[in-house]
Structure 1
Amino acid sequence: MFELTYFTANYFKKSNTKSFYPFIEVVFQISDKHYYHVPITLQPMVIRFTGGTR
């Protein structure tokens, strides 16, 4: 089991943008030895997970 934590509050604070998400946690499981990319598109009030790719 793996967990990625993206701390986004400072990113939005620097641009004086209010955000719904102070951080984002993504928990996932990998059962092979491939390399995976975890893409996230972040806007102040929206998160899009586009699915992992390898």
Structure 2
Amino acid sequence: MSQITTHILDTTLGKPAQGVVISLHQQNGNEWSKLAEGKTNADGRIPDLLDTGLTVPTGIYKMRFEVQAYFDLLEVQAFYPFVEIVFNITSGEHYHVPLLLNPFGYSTYRGS
């Protein structure tokens, strides 16, 4: 399993959000470097965002969720074209960063 994982649940539909492009970035000073990118599967997950066994160094990271295309496909007007979640990696343990999404709001938490 990737050290950093995520999933998206569309809380309006009560279903996983399939086909959302997600990218992972690492902060370097005032710049961001893209480390990985993938697309959510039918379960709203990207199981292999990072190579299994790869441990990223401590630091600040962000996941960018490109949600506009998802809502466009559903023909739903949405307020947020993308969502960025910034978080701090402090150890080599597993980090799960889920996104609970609807057209006019979102929520996140550190999962397990």
Instruction: Give the TM-score, by structure 1 length.
Output: 0.89
Other-structure match for 1:31: 90
Q: For residue 53 of structure 1, report the CA deviation from its aligned partner.
A: 2.7
Aligned residues: 53
CA separation in 2, counterparts of 1:28 and 1:38? 9
RMSD of equivalent CA atoms:
0.9
Query: What stretches of structure 1 of length at least 5 have no aligned partner?
Result: none
Specify which structure has the higher proportion of strand.
Answer: 2
Q: Counterpart amino acid of 2:85?
A: V
Other structure's SS at 2:78 match: coil
CA separation in 2, counterparts of 1:45 and 1:25? 15
Query: What stretches of structure 2 of length at least 5 have no aligned partner?
Result: 1-59
Specify which structure has the higher proportion of helix.
Answer: 1
Alignment partner of 1:44 is 2:100: no
Residue identity (%): 30
CA separation in 2, counterparts of 1:53 and 1:40? 10
Instruction: Give the TM-score, by structure 2 length.
Output: 0.45
